[in-house]
A and B are shown apart, each in its own frame.
Chain A
Amino acid sequence: MFAPAPFLLKDTSVSQVMTQVCIALVPGIAAYAWLVGPAILVQLVIATLAALLAETAMLRIQKKPLTIFLSDGSAVVTAWLIALTFPPLAPWWLVVIGTVFAIVVAKHLYGGLGQNPFNPAMVAFAVCIVSFPALMSQWPSVGLQLPLLDQINVILGLAPRVDALSSATPLDAMKTALKLGEGMQDVPALLANQDIYGNFAGRGWEWVAIGYLLGGLWMWQRKLITWHVPVSFIGAMVLLSGGLWLFNPAQFASPLFHLLSGGAMIGAFFIATDPVSGSTTPRGKLIFGAGAGLLAYIIRVFGGYPDGVAFAVLLMNLCVPVIDLLTQPRIFGMKDADKGGQA
């Protein structure tokens, strides 16, 4: 028997959607590999392999068709987001643990594709930063001139983890310095440190963030994402950071610094926009994005972790069912008030 109408279908599929998300990550990845170090490419490969293996195992156990679900690309997107948010020289097993946890626990134990209430990549980040705080906080200084082969050896555990590998992220460095300085340090002076900071934020990293921004704009143009989440995420972060910055520019960094630091851009365009774990209604997306932006700022500036995007997104994931329920849009023909009587 034939399938029912519509007989015409748009040329689209889950794997096309996921492939386009991966393509949108490419500018950020390119900047990352160029400015921070090509080791990230190795991490991407490790994470991808781990994700596909974990996905295969979980599909086997559930007796789901392998080819359809392996080729949907969702595991690859998760893997890439994990690799891009973990320290670039993190040991291979840390990336593998994060990825396997994301695929097995955060995705498949909740029912697989489309069923996970939490963003799997952010679950991986949260699990690892809680379990391995030291390793998750060791970021190489951007000026590190270590040959690629040596970097790979570090990742694979074949070379010792030297001191140069364990500096803080620019965001973390700023927070720590301000905290230790107890009001004696001021932001402009810290930003003058050309070893860590570039034109707007972390040296090198700022361009990675701009790469994500470009990829995100491309996704918006391709209608893979709507404007709601990125705009409200960025807007909320700018409002809060801008307010505090205007109030005390010596102790609070500028909105631009915050937008181009840490996970703000990848979070706004690639993580908070995850449709499965995010809000789906237009107003819900605005609330979700704004909540994630605010929480990310609060955690990264006042909290104990180097960045706040992961926890912010996870906390907002928790609120999604309620947000969606309370923000159902008015439907065609029922916009002017409730006199229609149909509830």
Chain B
Amino acid sequence: MLMNLFKFKGGVKPPTNKTQSLGRPIAQAPIPSRLVVPLHQSIGGTPRPVVQAGDKVLKGQLIGEADGWISAAVHAPTSGTVVDVAMHVQPHPSGLDALCVVIEPDGKDEWIPREPVDYKALTPEQVRERLQQAGVVGLGGAVFPTHGKLTASKTVPMEEMVINGAECEPFITCDDLLMRERAEEVVRGAGIFRDLLQPKKVLIGIEDNKPEAAAAMRAAVQAVGETFEVIQVPTLYPAGGAKQLIRVLTGKEVPAAKRSTDLGVQCFNVATAYTAWRAIAHGEPVVSRLVTVTGNVHEPRNYEVLIGTPMDELLKLATPHPDTDGIVMGGPMMGFLVPDPKVPVVKATNCLIAHSDRLFPPKAPEMPCIRCGACAQACPHELQPFEMYWFSRAKNFGKTQEYHIFDCIECGCCSFVCPSRIPLVQYFRFAKSEIWAREREKNAADQAKERFEFKQLREEREKAEKAEKLAKAAAAQAAKKAAEAAAAAASGDTPAEAPGPASAETATTPAAPSAADAEKAAKLATIQAAMERAKAQREAAQPKNTEQLTPEQQRAADEIEARRVAAKLVEPVASANPANEKAE
């Protein structure tokens, strides 16, 4: 079973600190006094709560229903009473609250009726749906709903399936102990995945600092009668990163822009395979997980912990030293300090490290970058972190993208080796979040602009329609007035003054000599009054009716205008098409 392994560039070798928590077998953590189960524990849609305060629940009972395909159900970790469905602080660096189901355990730990099935009798769709209903998600830390990864690409044949038992982060040993103690179930879980994806090969990658786990897995593979290859890979952080392990085992490099299935590879964590088997073959949804409790504690150990257990209660089991001043969730390379010691254990919690300054001394002050390039040599994605750092610092985010900032997996190798103690990963997170924020803003602005432009278009259309109506009305009015004036004039002996359809010539002289002065004066007064009214009307109508006219409307208006000019009702200058000047 000798196999040619590939290498990824970069990587670092931090002290592994794993032996501390490997001394004793997995222990069952007691049921805590209260469980706070967040509904959103996986990537994708937030499950909808299906219980309310006062409901009695059994262990494994559905409490949160998957919302959409990329989402996974959430279950009651033990039997008891729902006391609240409310916002609680989350194990996330942001310290934000999210909706949780709070359960007071009754201590009986009474299961729902479990329905083991033989998955071979089910269709692949049914298996995937069962996994979703059981809340099976990637337990390596990314918590992507597993059923969403179990459909092979239609175009690329599935060549390799990688089972990730590398566990490269220092301090963490939960996968190691899982493989040592429950190897057979891991192998059987991998068998389910294999049957769904139909890869040519199944490769189980384990770092070579876990020989016991590798031996146990090999034995289990044989016992189950599978043909999986158990491969020990060199211990080099971050060999357990999915992309790095795929590279080491298959030689394939998955770029940020692609999915591994595009290259015919899929990767699952060993704990995910284990929970998948429990879900299918035992009917047990994911209500607990293995958590390494280590760091600044007397008795580091791995525990099987109910989801929702407050972290401080779990930490107490390992008796933390008095100078413990915080809890790190995850490993020391990529983990984070939880915002509150009471935050619950979730499906992504693989490790708790009691933090103290003795364990992790405070960092020396940040110095300027000396371009030594140690970060570039350590980067497993072969990026140029110091260049991205300059541009992140300068907020030149376009440049950070040119240097492929979104290929950064935030493994922390660059920060680890930096002699200037620059928290490089923080700069990159900052740059990424700024870029996302700007993209969101831009999208929002684009949408607003679209809405605004549509509104403008609509308003203009309405205006034009109104203007047309007004123009018609004004023309009719003017014609009527003119007709009246003409009628008035016709009652005397002077020629018509008012505009008529073909009266341009005849209307040039305002008044002709007549016999009766009084009669003349009366006529003049009438004509003047008519002119005043027409002028007033024109002025009233003009400002509104001249924008965005159709050619026909414009022509009609021009004709009317020409007649008015001819009739000296208006000054010619004022009639020069004002619509053009007003156009914006």
Contacts and interface: CB of A to CB of B under 8 A. Distances in A.
B362 interface: yes
Contact of A2 (B355, B377, B403, B425): B355
B463 to A, nearest CB: 46
Contacts of A17: 370, 372, 419
Contact of A332 (B255, B333, B364, B368): B255
Please classify how large the interface on chain B is, using the bins under 10, 10 to 19, 20 to 34, 35 or more: 35 or more
A226 B376 CA distance: 12
A3 B372 CA distance: 23
Interface string A189-203: 000000000000000
Interface stretch (B8-16, B105-113, B533-541): B8-16
B402 A343 contact: yes
A212 to B, nearest CB: 20
A114 B368 contact: yes
Nearest to B9: A332
A5 B364 contact: no
Interface in B151-196: 170
B255 A340 contact: yes
A340 B364 contact: no
Interface in A293-343: 324, 328-335, 340-343
A56 interface: no
Contacts of B100: none
Interface stretch (A132-140, A245-253, A274-282): A274-282
A13 B368 CA distance: 11
A140 to B, nearest CB: 35
B368 A4 contact: no
A10 B416 contact: yes
A280 B371 CA distance: 7
A72 interface: yes
Interface string B372-390: 1110110011111011000
B58 interface: no
B310 interface: no
Contacts of B417: 10, 12
B421 interface: yes
A8 B372 CA distance: 20
A113 B370 CA distance: 7
B363 A3 contact: yes
Contacts of B255: 331-334, 340, 342
Interface string B241-272: 00100010000011111100000000000000
Contacts of A65: 365
A322 to B, nearest CB: 14
Contacts, number: 147
Contacts of B170: 8
Contact of A13 (B14, B384, B412, B419): B419
A275 B371 contact: yes
B257 A2 contact: no
Contacts of B383: 331-332
**Does more than half of chain B's interface fall in helix, strand or loop, or is it mixed?**
loop
B3 interface: no
A68 B366 CA distance: 10
Interface string A53-66: 00000000000010
Nearest to B407: A331
A17 to B, nearest CB: 5
Given A113-B370, A275-B370, A330-B382, A6 B365 contact: no
B419 A4 contact: no
A8 to B, nearest CB: 4
A333 to B, nearest CB: 3
Contact of A8 (B360, B367, B377): B360
A221 interface: no
B367 A331 contact: no
Give the one of A7, A113, A276, A330 with max B CB within 10 A.
Answer: A7
A112 interface: yes
Given A13-B419, A16-B419, A72-B367, A8 B407 contact: no
Nearest to B335: A5
A329 B256 CA distance: 16
A8 B382 contact: no
Nearest to B411: A6
A128 to B, nearest CB: 25
Contact of B336 (A4, A332, A340): A4
B44 interface: no
Contacts of B8: 332
A3 B367 contact: no
Interface string A218-232: 000001001000000
Nearest to A64: B368
B360 A281 contact: no
B368 A5 contact: no
B164 to A, nearest CB: 18
A3 B355 CA distance: 12
Interface in A7-60: 7-10, 12-14, 16-17
Interface residues of A, number: 42
B337 interface: yes
A31 B382 CA distance: 40
Given A330-B382, A343-B402, A6 B412 contact: yes
Nearest to A74: B370
Given A3-B363, A331-B404, A332-B381, A9 B373 contact: no
A343 to B, nearest CB: 7
Contacts of A278: 371
Contacts of A342: 255-257, 404
A145 interface: no
A287 to B, nearest CB: 15
Contacts of A16: 419
Contact of B243 (A4, A115, A332): A332
A7 B355 contact: yes
A16 B426 CA distance: 24
A333 B256 contact: yes
Nearest to A320: B371
Contact of A341 (B243, B257, B330, B377): B257
B262 to A, nearest CB: 10
Nearest to A332: B381
B415 interface: yes
Interface in B315-341: 326, 328, 330, 332-337
Contacts of A13: 364, 367, 419-421
Interface string B75-94: 00000000000000000010
B148 interface: no
A14 B412 contact: no
Contacts of A4: 93, 336, 423, 425-426
A278 to B, nearest CB: 8
A226 B334 CA distance: 28
Nearest to A334: B255
Contact of B332 (A6, A114, A115): A6
B569 interface: no
B29 interface: no
Give the one of A13, A226, A332, A342 with max B CB within 10 A.
Answer: A332
B411 to A, nearest CB: 9
B511 interface: no
Give the one of A2, A8, A330 with max B CB within 10 A.
Answer: A8
Contacts of A275: 370-373
B369 interface: yes
27 contacts: A3-B362, A4-B93, A6-B333, A7-B328, A7-B360, A8-B332, A9-B421, A12-B374, A13-B364, A72-B367, A112-B368, A113-B370, A114-B367, A280-B371, A280-B373, A280-B386, A329-B382, A332-B8, A332-B243, A332-B382, A333-B243, A333-B258, A334-B407, A335-B253, A340-B258, A342-B255, A342-B257
Given A4-B423, A7-B328, A14-B420, 7 more contacts: A5-B330, A10-B14, A12-B417, A17-B419, A328-B384, A331-B382, A333-B381
Q: What are the 6 A-B residue pairs with the smallest beta carbon separation, nearest first?
A: A333-B255, A6-B412, A114-B368, A333-B253, A332-B381, A7-B360
